[in-house]
Amino acid sequence: MLTIKLAFKNLIGAGRRAWLNIIVLSIVYVMIIFMVGMMKGVFGRMEHETQLTEFAAGQFWSENYDPQDPVNIRDYHQSYSDVKAYLSPDKACQILVTPATIYADGRSSVALLKGIVPEQSVMKMETEKLLTESNYIPVMIGKQMAKSAKLELGNIITLQVRDKNGVFDAVDAEIVHVMQHNIQSVDAGMVWISLDDLQSLLDLKNEATYITVSNKFDQEMSGWKFKDLNFLLADIKLLSFQKQTGALIMNIIMLTLAALAIFDTQMLAIFRRKKEIGTLIALGMTRKHVKMLFTMEGLYYAILGIIMGLIYGIPLLWITSVKGINYGSVAEDFGMNMGSILYPEFSFQLFLSSTLIVVLVIMVVSYLPARSISKLNPTQVLKGK
Amino acid sequence: MNAKKIITLLLCTVMIAFATYPDGGELLKKMDKVMASETQKLTSKMIINTNRGSRTIETRSYTKGEDYSFTEYLAPAREEGIKMLKIKDDLWTYDPDADRTITISGHMLRQSINGSDLSYEDMMSDETLNDDYKAATKGEEIIFDRACWVVELTALKTGVAYPTRKLWIDKERYLPLRGEYFAKSGKLLKRMEILKVMQTDGRWFPKEMHYQDVLNKKSKGTSFIIESVEFDVEIPKYIFTKAALKK
C-alpha cells in the first residue's frame, strides 16, 4: 500500500513531464479505440448492407456465369422453367443480366441492364417501383449511376441491347426511381428493369443469369451452382482483413512511440534519483519493493492516461458513432459499398482489450529500466558514486 | 371542278397506285455487283469526329471475296503498324508496340473501332445483302440531287444484326446513297450516306461515306474517305495469313 501511495506522490511530483506523457498516452489510447472501431463499423456495416441488398442468403449461378467477365456476360443465362415452382417472390428472385448502351440527352454510355422480379422481397431494393405506370418501360438506377451518367428521376432514356440472336433492339425507358442506398455493387454502371420486360427484349423467356435466395429457400436446383455468403462476401472480408492489418500496424507504431517516451522518462528518473533509491534501500526497503515502486510509477502513466482518455474519449467516440463522420464524395468514389458518412462501432470488449494492451505494454516498459535497481550498491550511490 | 380535271386526277391516282417499281432483289443484285469485286486493294482515311475534336486514321486494306480481309494502319504515327486480319468469322489484331496478336471475338466484335461509329462487326460484315434480306422497292426519292429507288430490306433469317434496313439506291449508278439501319422495335439506329462518288475502272464507287449513330444525338459521326481503290488485283496469298500480321 505504501508503495502504491509513494509511487502516486512521486508521479504527481514529477510535474509537467509526467502530465505530458499522460496526455500523449491518452491520445494514443483513444486513437487505438477509434481506429479499430472505425474499421469494425465500416466493414461490418458494408458486409451487412451488401448481404441485405445484394446477396440475401446466397445465390444460384447459371452454369458458366462469371461476374468478372463483363465482355461475355450476355451469354451467361439459362432456363429456370424446371424450378419455377419453387421461385416465389419472398424466397427467390431471378436476375437476368445483359450489356446495354444508354442514350440520354445526346450522350451515350455503356451499362449493365439487370432484369429483376419487381414483386421480390428477397433483397432490400425498392423493386416494386418498377411497377410504376409509365408510357415508357419503367427502369430504376442508383444514386451513383445517376451522378455518373447525369441522369435523374423522370428522364427518358433509350436502351440499346442485342437479343439472344444478336439482333439489335432499342426502346425508350423512363427512370421511375433513383435508389438512395450506398451499395455500389447494385448501383454503379447498372440499370434495373422488370424481368419480364428484359426477357421480352432479349427473347429469353424463363431465363436468368442468377437467382438470389432468402433464408426461406431450401430447395436443391440441379444445373445451378449455389454460392454461399462466405464466397459472395469474400472480397469484402479480404479487404476488411487488409485494412485492419494496416490499422493494426498504425496502432503498434503509435503505442511504441508512447511507450518509448515512458521508457525514456523511467530511465532518466532512475538515473537522477539514485540517492533516493539508495536511501530507501538503506532505510530497509527491499530492492524488489523499490523496483515495484518504479514499475508502479510507470503503471500510473497508463492508468491516468486511460482515465484521461476515457473522460474526453467516451463522449467524443459516442458522438462519432451516432453522427458518423462525413467523408463527402471521397468515400463514395472509393467504389466500395459504403456511403459518404462512415459510422464507427465501439463495444465494451474493444475498450477492455485496448485498456489491457496499453496497461501491459506500459508495465513492461516501466519494469525494464527498473531492473537495473537490483545491481545498485546503496553505499556507493549514497556517496554519490 | 370540270370533268377533264377529274379524269386527269383519277388517271394520276390510278397511275400512282399501279406504278411498277423494279424488283428489290434485282436492285440489290445490281448494287452488290457495283460494290463487290473478287479482290480489292483500298487506301482510305477514317475521320472520327468527337466532341473533343477529330482524329484521322489512314489505312490500307486488301480484301478477297467475303471471307478474307487484311487492314494495315498507316497513320497517325501512334497507331502506325497496327494490323487487322479477318478470315471468315475470325478476326485478329496485331499491335506492334506490344508485339502481340489479339483475337477479337464474341462481344468484343461489337466494340467501337478507335472510338468511331463503326464496330469491328460493321467492318467485317461485307456480305452481299441478298443473302440476308428480302428486298422490296417502296418508292423513289431524290437524294443528293440523284434519283433513287427506296428499297426496304427485311431480314430473311434470325441473327442478322439489323432486322430491317432502308436503302436509297441510285437509279443509274446503283450505289446505295443512303442506308438506314433499324432495331427490332423499328427505331432508327444508324445512318450511312455516300456524300461523294468517284469513277474508277469503269465503275462508280463511293469516295466519301458518313456513318452516324442516330441515337446519340450529339454524335458528329465518322467519315470514311476512299483515297484509292483497285479492283480484281493480284493479292499475294501470304497477306491473308496470321504470319503477315507481324511482318
In sequence order, what DSSP letters do the residues of B114-165 get, joined into one string?
Answer: TTSS-BHHHHH----HHHHEEEEEEEEEEETTEEEEEEEEEESSTT-SSSEE
Q: Roughly what angle, to the nearest 10 degrees, separates helices A234-272 and A274-282?
A: 70
Indicate whether A352 pLDDT > 80: yes
Please report residues of B whose CB lies closer than 8 A to that of A168.
Answer: 161-163, 181, 183-184, 189
Taking Cα atoms as reference points, which of A21, A27, A6 lies closest to residue A310?
A27
| Chain A residues in contact with B125 (beta carbon < 8 A) | none
Answer whether residue B216 shows pLDDT above 70: yes
Asked whether residue A6 carries a pLDDT value surpassing 90, the answer given is no
Q: Do A166 and B185 touch (CB under 8 A)?
A: no
Grid coordinates of B134? 428480302
Which residues in chain B have their CB less than 8 angstroms from residue A99's CB?
107
Among A171-185, A299-313, A361-375, B99-113, name the one with the lowest average pLDDT: B99-113
What pLDDT is recorded for position B35? Answer: 84
How do residues A77-115 score in pLDDT, each as one tens digit? Answer: 999 998 888 889 999 999 999 999 899 887 888 899 999
B18: pLDDT strictly greater than 70 = no
Average of per-residue pLDDT across A218-234: 90
C-alpha cell of A376? 545498485
Query: Positive or negative, the Cα torsion across B144, B145, B146, B149?
Result: positive
Tell me the CA end-to-end span of chain A in Å, nearest whole number.
31
* Nearest alpha-carbon partner for A370 in A266, A280, A300, A257: A266
Taking a C-beta distance cutoff of 8 angstroms, is the pair A201, A150 a contact?
A: no
Which residues in chain A are contacts of B161 at CB distance < 8 A? 162, 166-168
Handedness of CA A230, A235, A236, A240 (dihedral sign): positive
Q: How far apart are the CA of A125 and the nearest CA of chain B, in angstroms? A: 30
Residue whose entry in the numeric block shows the C-alpha cell 428472385:
A93
Q: What φ, ψ does residue A62 adopt, rounded to 5°?
A: -65, 160
CB atoms A167 and B189 under 8 Å: no
Best of A109, A157, A169 to disrupt the B interface by mutation (most B CBs within 10 Å)? A169
Grid coordinates representing A187? 448501383
Query: Cα B201 to chain center, whole Å?
Result: 20
User: Taking a C-beta distance cutoff of 8 angstroms, is the pair A201, A114 a contact?
Assistant: no
User: What is the model's pLDDT at position A123?
Assistant: 94
pLDDT at B114: 75
Q: Which residue has the higher pLDDT, A17 or A113?
A: A113
Whether B170 and B163 have beta carbons less than 8 Å apart is answered as no
Q: What is the pLDDT of residue B246?
A: 82
Residues of chain A neighbouring B191 (CB-CB closer than 8 A): none
Contact B75, B56 (CB under 8 A): yes
Asked if residue A309 has pLDDT above 70, the reply is yes
H or E element, residue A242: helix A234-272
What residue spans define the domains of chain B? Answer: 21-246
Residue of B nearest to A99 (CA): B107
CA B131, chain centre distance (Å): 15
Give the residue among A170, A362, A157, A372 at the shortest CA–CA distance from A273: A372
pLDDT band with cut points at 50, 70 and 90 for residue B11: low
* Mean pLDDT on A310-321: 93
B88-142 residue pLDDT tens: 878 888 988 888 888 877 666 767 777 777 777 776 665 578 888 999 999 999 9
Q: What is the ipTM of this complex?
A: 0.81
Q: What is the C-alpha separation between B108 and B118, in angstroms, rounded?
A: 13
Spatial separation of the C-alpha atoms in residues B72 and A105, rounded to whole Å: 36
Q: pLDDT tens digits for A273-289?
A: 878 888 888 888 888 88
How far apart (Å, rounded) are the C-alpha atoms in residues A34 and A320?
Answer: 9
pLDDT at position B7, please? 67
| Binary contact (B216, A169; C-beta < 8 A) | no
- From CA A276, how far away is CA A266, in angstroms rounded? 14
The answer to whether B73 and B83 have CB atoms below 8 angstroms apart is yes
**Nearest CA to CA, how far is B182 from chain A (Å)?**
8
Is A329's pLDDT higher than 70? no
Alpha carbons within 13 angstroms on the beta-carbon side of residue B153 total 30
Cβ contact (<8 Å) for A75 and B110? Answer: no
Out of B107, B159, B185, closest to residue A72 by CB = B107
Residues recorded for chain A: 385
**Residue A373 contacts residue A294 (beta carbons within 8 Å):** yes
- pLDDT, tens only, A129-148: 999 999 999 999 999 899 88
Min Cα separation B98/chain A (Å): 22
Q: Tally the C-alpha atoms within 13 A of residue B110's C-alpha that lie toward its C-beta.
A: 16
> What is the β-pairing status of strands B203-213 and A225-227?
unpaired
Q: How many residues does chain B have?
A: 247
Count interface pairs A-B at CB distance under 8 A.
60
Would the pLDDT of A11 be above 90?
no
Q: Identify the closest residue of chain A to B216 by CA–CA distance.
A: A106
Show the cell assigned to A77: 443465362
Question: What is the rounded CA–CA span in Å between residue A66 and residue A72?
Answer: 9
Residue indicated by cell numbers 440472336: A165
| Amino acid (1-letter code) at residue B129 | L
A72 and B106: CB-CB below 8 Å?
Answer: yes
Cell output for A380? 556507493
DSSP class of residue A255? H
pLDDT in tens, A148-181: 889 999 999 999 999 998 899 999 999 999 998 8
Q: Using pLDDT thresholds of 50, 70 and 90, give the confidence band for residue A230.
A: very high
A70: CB partners within 8 A, 6+ apart: A99, A112
Q: Which residue has the higher pLDDT, B23 or B67?
A: B23
What pLDDT sits at residue B9? 66
Mean pLDDT within A54-75: 88
Extended beta strands in A87-167, E state: 92-104, 107-116, 137-142, 156-162
Per-residue confidence band for B3, with pLDDT thresholds at 50, 70 and 90 = low
CA–CA distance, B114 with A22 (Å, rounded to integer): 64
User: Quick check: A107 and B218 CB within 8 A?
Assistant: yes
pLDDT in tens, B191-200: 999 999 999 8
> What does DSSP assign to residue B119?
B
Query: What is the average per-residue pLDDT within A176-187?
Result: 88
The answer to whether A171 contacts B185, with C-beta atoms less than 8 Å apart, is yes
- Judged by DSSP in three states, B105 sits in coil
Chain B positions touching A166 (Cβ under 8 A) are 159, 161
Superfamily of domain B21-246: Lipoprotein localisation LolA/LolB/LppX (2.50.20.10)
Residue with cell 461475355: A72
Q: Which of B161, B215, B219 sits opposite A170 (nearest CB)?
A: B215
End-to-end CA distance of chain B, in Å?
A: 78
From residue A205, give the alpha-carbon distance in Å to each of A164, A192, B186, B221: 11, 17, 21, 36
> Which of helix, strand or coil describes residue B72?
strand
Nine-digit cell string for A212: 438470389
Q: Which residues of B126-156 are buried (b: 16+ CB within 10 A; e: fewer)?
A: eeebbebbebebeebeebeebebbbbbbebe
Q: Map grid coordinates 433483397 to a residue.
A: A123
- Please report the beta strands in chain A, taking only residues with DSSP state E, as ranges in sequence order: 58-61, 78-79, 92-104, 107-116, 137-142, 156-162, 168-179, 190-194, 207-208, 210-213, 225-227, 325-326, 341-342
Is residue A305 scored above 70 in pLDDT? yes
The CA distance from A61 to A96, in Å, is 11
Q: Distance between CA atoms of B192 and B179, rounded to whole angstroms?
A: 5
Q: How many Å apart are CA A141 and CA A177, to the nearest integer?
A: 7
